Amino acid sequence: MGFWNSLKNELIDIIEWLDDSHDTMVYRFARHDNEIKYGAKLIVREGQCAIFINEGQLEQPKPQKWNVMEYDASKQSDVFEAGTYTLDTKNLPILSTLQGWKYGFDSPFKAEVYFINTTRFTHQKWGTPNPIMVRDPEFGPLRLRAFGSYSLKIKNPVLFLREVSGTKGRFTTENISDELRSLIVSRFTDTLGESKLAALDLASNYDELGRFVTQKMQDDFLQYGLELKQLVIGNISLPPAVTEALDKRSSMGVLGNLQQYSQFQAANAIEQAAKNPSGAASEGMAMGAGFAMASQMAQQFNQPQTPAPMPPPPQTTFHVAVNGQTTGPFDLHSLSQQLQTGQFTRHSLVWRAGMSQWQAAGEVAELKNLLGAIPPPIPPTL
């Protein structure tokens, strides 16, 4: 009696799967020789489905072409969605084709049971292993790196089992992540090149790019029986050299007034020197001198550049004949003073360079304004 009881215990009464790994996509129910008792209970929880395989294949006709968009689990005879089932010929057609066990108690059957995780797999990472070469409208040729995350789920369990996981006892996201990552990088690179967005405008278009790539890759994922739920772009970065140049450019814009900045730096240097008068005194003085020089340079840069004053026009000078002797030359200011004292009159003979001969001062055009300022002599009284 004990022998028969132990033999019966080898047959499975309850088929179920509990998973805490959060990355298992397919799990093959483990049992010695795959023996399952006729009438056993199958428990399929939410976020799961179960597939029975008999002698290496599903007991249903294979379609000529899988239409992954029109997949309906309810129409798959050997695919069980969430619920509790009693395994018999009413809900499992493969039992009708199996031979009963030759022993006298409940007939067992041998089959493989695969549980498919139909929940969403999140936090899957993707990134560009090498920089992407793009032509930027502002900076010219650039190399960009990008990374982010994506989420997916199994949309067609039968297709996924046949085309991807196969007979593997435990299939995880790690087993397919490399292939999906390469696919994402290829489609993302193509999308980024076609968008022709400037590098400085990419940050404001992360959401749009992510949604566009998600839609563009649906057919690619469906070929595996998968559905890409969401693709998130975490960052698109420039090469270090370009980033450093942009940081310097931004720093100049933030500094603004170079004179005020140099004064601030000089004040900090003096403060640091005061805190450490021994070892840092000379260093602080050197820093202060450097900042002072920078301040002077900043003042020169900030001061408006005034044009050099124009040289005064050359003044006209005249020689004056006095008692048969040549005196001078005298400028107009000197001649004006001589007019006041009477030493120079409109009848005085004058000569300057360019004149052919001596002339009376009153006949020279350059002296008319000067002589006109002197009132004529008062006429004698009658």
Across the chain, mean pLDDT equals 75
Give the whole-angstrom CA distance, residue 76 versus residue 157: 10
Which is nearest to 335 in space by CA: 359, 375, 371, 364? 371
What does the buried/exposed string (b/e) look like for 353-378 if buried means 16 or more CB atoms within 10 Å of the residue's CB?
Answer: eeeeeeeebeebeebeebbeeeeeee
Prediction pTM value: 0.57
State the virtual CA torsion across 247, 253, 257, 261 in degrees, nearest 10.
-20
Q: Are 64 and 207 in contact (CB under 8 A)?
A: no
Q: Considering only residues 346 and 257, tell me which one the structure prediction assigns the higher pLDDT.
A: 346
Give the whole-angstrom CA distance, residue 192 versus residue 132: 9
Q: Considering only residues 70 and 87, tell me which one the structure prediction assigns the higher pLDDT.
A: 87
Q: What are the C-alpha distances in Å from 137 to residues 172, 198, 199, 235?
A: 42, 6, 8, 20
Respond yes or no on whether the N-terminal peptide bond of residue 312 is cis (omega within 30° of 0).
no
- Interval 198-226: pLDDT, tens: 888 888 899 999 999 999 999 999 999 99
Which CATH architecture describes the domain 121-241?
Answer: 2-Layer Sandwich (3.30)
Give the whole-angstrom CA distance, residue 96 versus residue 89: 6
Q: Considering only residues 44 and 239, tell me which one the structure prediction assigns the higher pLDDT.
A: 44
State what percent of residues in the chain have pLDDT above 70: 63
Which is nearest to 105 in space by CA: 2, 32, 5? 5
Q: Are 218 and 187 in contact (CB under 8 A)?
A: no
Beta strand 35-44 with 12-15: parallel, antiparallel or unpaired?
Answer: parallel
What does the buried/exposed string (b/e) look like for 259-296 if buried means 16 or more CB atoms within 10 Å of the residue's CB?
Answer: bebbbebbeebeeebeeeeeebeeebeebbeebeebbe
Confidence of residue 146 (pLDDT cuts 50, 70, 90): very high
Name the residue ranges covered by the structural domains of the chain.
2-117, 121-241, 256-299, 318-372
pLDDT at 10: 47
Give the whole-angstrom CA distance, residue 146 versus residue 269: 41
In CATH terms, the fold of domain 318-372 is Dna Ligase; domain 1 (3.30.1490)
Q: Considering only residues 112 and 72, tell me which one the structure prediction assigns the higher pLDDT.
A: 112
Residue 327 has pLDDT above 90, yes or no: no
Residue 228: strand pairing partners = 152
- Interval 223-260: pLDDT, tens: 999 999 999 999 998 878 777 877 776 666 655 555 66
Rg (CA), the chain: 51
Residue 75 has pLDDT above 60, yes or no: no
User: What is the chain's length?
Assistant: 382
- Interval 265-302: pLDDT, tens: 677 777 777 676 555 445 555 555 555 555 565 565 55
Give the whole-angstrom CA distance, residue 139 versus residue 137: 6
Give the whole-angstrom CA distance, residue 114 versus residue 281: 77
Residue 84: strand pairing partners = 43
Helix (H), strand (E) at residue 199:
none
How large is the average pLDDT for residues 84-98? 58
| CA 66 to chain centroid | 40
pLDDT at 102: 40
